[in-house]
Chain A
Amino acid sequence: MIKKRMLLNLDKLKIPKGKPIVFAERCKGCGLCIEYCPKQVLSFSDDYNEKGYHYPVIPPEKEGECIRCGFCRQVCPDFAIYVEDEN
């Protein structure tokens, strides 16, 4: 098998990492955060919150991909999401 080239200085570059924290009970399912997330980390949950809405979750395969841009927090009309710094 022919290998690919790797980037030789990756260990020296820091990539911001975040973890979105969702207050599911506050969400009204508008989906703005899902729409805005540049890395498409978020998607709708299968189940419903108390108000009867699907809320954002991070599917297991997207774990660790958040880049802490904080856009979800900014666009959320209901203060239902924020991002914790993981670095």
Chain B
Amino acid sequence: MRIGVFICHCGKNIAGVLDIKRLVEEAAKLKDVAYATDYVYLCSEPGQKEIQQKIKELELTHVVIAACSPKMHATTFARAVEEVGLNPYLLEIANIREQCSWVHHDAPEEATEKALEIIRAAVAKVSLAKPLAPITVPLTRKVLVIGGGIAGIQAALDIANGGFEVYLVERSPSLGGHMAQLSETFPTLDCSSCILTPRMVEVARHPNIHLFTYAEVKNVEGIVGQYKVTIEQKPRYVDPDKCTGCGDCAEACPVIVPNEFDQGLGARKAVYVPFPQAVPLVYTIDLEHCLNTKRLIVCEQCYHACGPKAINYLMEPKEIEIEVGAIVLATGYDLLPLEALKEYGGGIYPDVLSGLEFERLLSASGPTGGIVRRPSDGKIPKRVVFIQCAGSRDPEHGCPYCSKICCMYTAKHALLYKHAVPDGEAYVFYIDVRAAGKRYEEFVQRVMEEERIVYLRGKVSKVFQRKDKLVVWGVDTLSGMAVEIEADMVVLATAIVPSKNTADLAKLLKAPIDEFGFLNEVHPKLRPVESSAMGIYLAGAAQAPKDIPDTVSQASAAASKVLGLFSQEELSLEPIKAEVNLENCDGCAYCVDVCPFDAITLVVEEDGHKHVEVKKALCQGCGCCMATCPKEGINVAGFTLNQLKAQIHALLKEDEDD
């Protein structure tokens, strides 16, 4: 065995703290180490060349690279050693940057000692490494997109146009998501539905897209390349094949319910489409409010009104099983409920509105036909106060983050309000205006200057009612004055939170979420559209609050990742998988239950002999089984118990034999 140790300076990142010369000297003395050296930037082209050359020249059999985290460059170096014929699993990375020089920059001597230990452990581990070959598994080149907002729509269209089949699952009765609820969009003020509806129609018509609305993903099994998914189609009680969307049923229905699509500001019937441009244009009976129940039919008005006899009160939920190779999560966002903002009168006073509620009042297809009216009495408000950061950037409300879009949509709201009510007055309370985006700053400036909207820098302490007015108490921190404004309406730019049940779905898919419940990406800069669960990609506001341009870009990025994956016929997976040692395994099956991926099964041979078996495609190499087995009967390749033991002994500076 001839191990080569290469130590990287990473410019000053490592060499500025650690004593590289000493590291090289000490490394060269380690058992089985044939060669040790250092280099300024090993990841650079000449750095990699140097490694390759030394492998060939000195006939190195194993390599340790002491540098940055393997998350950063493990693949770079693996590729480099492979090019000169060394199996990439005979390479070990010793992380002396993130885990040493960066965190111990104030104690260089001790840090050098620690770095030495890290290198020693890596050498011990690599000396027991075995060459491994990637395993190939079948790849179903179809994708599931969850969520039919603009993110899901864009991702589905891009993948379908790339020639692959897409299953798009949306839980509400129509495609569109929140974008369908918006009036006009910043910074160009084009009408939201006008740009969205054609895309929705394209999805419905696309030969490669199977659209499931009013449906949810109930179960997901398997791994990248071969997910088995169960979709539950909720009953609409209207046959989608027969319904012509004429709306005669709704005309006849006697039940009036607040329309969720209008944020409850307008009404719909118990049989309804959420909005006239809905896709698919199929009516749905909301059984919760329909006079009928599952067991008793007492009203048949819609049935009689429906020409094509599409109404069927006996429809049952349906389950659909599909197989896909990848999943795009585009489940979007919700708003922090108004009730959470009691200090601003949220949920208490009828004329304290959320941003989305105000969008519905501004929308030409909204409950007021675009006339801004107060929900309390239908009057046109003459003075409106907008409060930004309502819940956002506020740890007390659990949202210390910036919701990113509110500065922009508040400016838009104030402008659209002034256009709708020219003699009205608009005030905006803000902490600071964040308008980083193409033509965003110009838009806000225009609103402030041309529309003469009063921007007050400061927070609002309280909103309360005086007669039929809302009194807003705040401070203007620029003038240092306390301000009292008597308003007719208050609009809160409520914080963006992940959409309902995102956490449950994430759990089902084993996709991690962050502390606020947004889906987590693998790397915030370099891999922003991938979940660490392989084969799962992220798009839109489900990952973090974002506006439409960012959402669409991310959706297209996720789609290109999927297309990249699907460019292969078969999937090659890392061979870091559990392997059963049949000599030690006695079939006690402790490992079967602990495996989070259900990859282990118990096998009973004809002669009664028992042992476990690993489904390689399912195994993620987490090592739970290895840690559980009392008999060293199961090992993760590349991380065997022996390797880990050797690593620990080396760290403890013990000889393995003592």
Contacts of A44 in B (CB 8 A): none
Q: Chain B: which residue is nearest A15 at the CB level?
A: B254
Docked pose: A16 CA to B377 CA in angstroms? 25
A69 touches B267 (CB 8 A): no
B254 engages A7 (CB within 8 Å):
no
Partner of B376, one of A3, A16, A39, A71: A3
**Which chain A residues border B268 with CB–CB below 8 Å?**
13
- A56-80 CB contacts (< 8 Å) to partner B: 67-69, 71
With contacts A13-B269, A15-B254, A68-B254 known, is A5 near B299, CB below 8 A? no
Q: How far is the CA of A35 from the CA of B509 in the complex (A)?
A: 49
Picked from B256, B349, B375, the residue with its CB within 8 Å of the CB of A13 is: B256
Q: Known contacts being A2-B465, A14-B251, is A7 close to B378, with CB within 8 Å?
A: no
* B301 contacts the other chain (CB 8 A): yes
Interface string of B247-290 (1 = CB under 8 A from A): 00001111010100010111111000000000000000000000
Contact assessment for B267 and A7 in the assembled complex, using a CB-CB cutoff below 8 Å: yes
Question: Quick one: given A8-B373, A13-B269, are A38 and B298 in contact (CB under 8 Å)?
Answer: yes
Q: Which residues of A contact B264 (CB under 8 A)?
A: 5
Chain A nearest Cβ from B377, distance in angstroms: 7
Per DSSP, chain A at the interface is: loop
A55 to B291, CA, bound (A): 24
Q: Is B498 an interface residue (CB 8 A)?
A: no
Taking the complex as formed, is B355 at the interface, i.e. its CB lies under 8 A from any CB of chain A?
A: no
Say whether A48 faces chain B, with CB atoms less than 8 Å apart.
Answer: no
By a CB distance below 8 angstroms, the chain B residues around A39 are 254, 291
- B368 contacts the other chain (Cβ, under 8 Å)? yes
* List of B residues within 8 angstroms of A68 by Cβ: 254, 301
Closest to A66 in B: B254
CB distance from A81 to the nearest CB of B (A): 15
Place the interface of chain B in its size category: 20 to 34
Are the CB atoms of B301 and A6 closer together than 8 Å? no
Residue numbers in B under 8 Å from A7 (CB-CB): 256, 258, 265-267, 367
B266 contact set on A, CB distance < 8 A: 7-9
Distance in angstroms from B422 CB to nearest chain A CB is 21
Contact of A69 among B265, B300, B350 (CB under 8 A): B300
B348 lies within 8 A of chain A by Cβ: yes
Alpha-carbon separation in the docked complex, A33 to B350 (Å): 40
* 1/0 contact string of A1-32 vs chain B (CB within 8 Å): 01111111110011110000000000000000
Q: How far is the CA of A70 from the CA of B373 in the complex (A)?
A: 37
- Chain A residue at minimal CB-CB distance from B350: A5
CB of B251 within 8 A of CB of A5, answer: no
In contact, A8 and B465 (Cβ under 8 angstroms): no
User: From residue A37, how far is it (CB to closest CB) to chain B in Å?
Assistant: 8
- Contact in complex: A8, B375 (CB < 8 Å): yes
Given contacts A4-B350, A69-B299, A69-B300, contact A9 B252 (CB under 8 A): no
Distance between A31 CB and nearest chain B CB, rounded to angstroms: 15
Known contacts A69-B298, A69-B301, A71-B299, A6 near B254 by CB under 8 Å: no
B373 contacts across to A, CB distance below 8 A: 8
Query: Chain B nearest CB: distance from A41 CB in Å?
Result: 11
Structural contact, B368 and A8, CB atoms closer than 8 A: yes
CB contact between A16 and one of B301, B350, B361, B465 (< 8 Å): that residue = B301
* Cβ–Cβ contact A13 & B267, under 8 A: yes
Residue interface bits B374-387, CB-to-A below 8 A is 1, else 0: 01111000000000
CA distance A46 to B87 in the complex (A): 96
Instruction: Report how far A38 CA is from B292 CA in the complex, Å.
Output: 8
Q: Shortest CB–CB separation between residue A3 and chain B, in angstroms?
A: 4
- Which residues of the other chain, B, contact A10 by a CB distance below 8 angstroms? 256, 267
Contacts of B300 in A (CB 8 A): 69, 71
- State whether B368 touches A9 (Cβ < 8 A): yes
Query: With A3-B377, A8-B368, A9-B367 known to touch, is A67 a contact of B299 (CB < 8 Å)?
Result: yes
**Distance between A83 CB and nearest chain B CB, rounded to angstroms:** 11
User: Which residues of B are found within 8 Å of A9, using beta-carbon distances?
Assistant: 262, 266-267, 367-368
CA distance A28 to B348 in the complex (A): 52
B591 shortest CB reach to chain A, Å: 58
In chain B, what residue has the closest Cβ to A18? Answer: B254
Q: How many Å lie between the Cα of A67 and that of B252 in the bound state?
A: 9
B10 to chain A: closest CB distance in Å?
Answer: 61
* Contact B349 A2, beta carbon cutoff 8 Å: yes
- In the bound complex, how far is the Cα of B269 from the Cα of A71, in angstroms? 20
With both chains docked as a complex, state the minimum distance between the C-beta of A44 and any C-beta of chain B, in angstroms. 19
B492 CB, nearest partner CB in chain A, Å: 15
| Residue pair A38, B291 in contact (C-beta under 8 Å) | yes
Enumerate chain A residues within 8 angstroms of B267, measured Cβ to Cβ.
7, 9-10, 13
A63 to chain B: closest CB distance in Å? 16
Chain B residues with CB under 8 A of A14: 251
- 9 A-B pairs (CB sep. < 8 Å): A2-B349, A5-B265, A8-B266, A8-B368, A9-B267, A15-B254, A15-B256, A69-B254, A71-B298
Closest 5 CB pairs between A and B? A67-B254, A9-B367, A5-B375, A38-B298, A9-B266
User: Assuming A37-B298, A38-B299, A71-B300, what are 15 further A-B pairs, CB within 8 angstroms?
Assistant: A3-B468, A4-B350, A6-B378, A7-B258, A8-B265, A8-B367, A8-B375, A8-B378, A13-B256, A15-B254, A16-B301, A67-B254, A68-B254, A69-B299, A69-B300
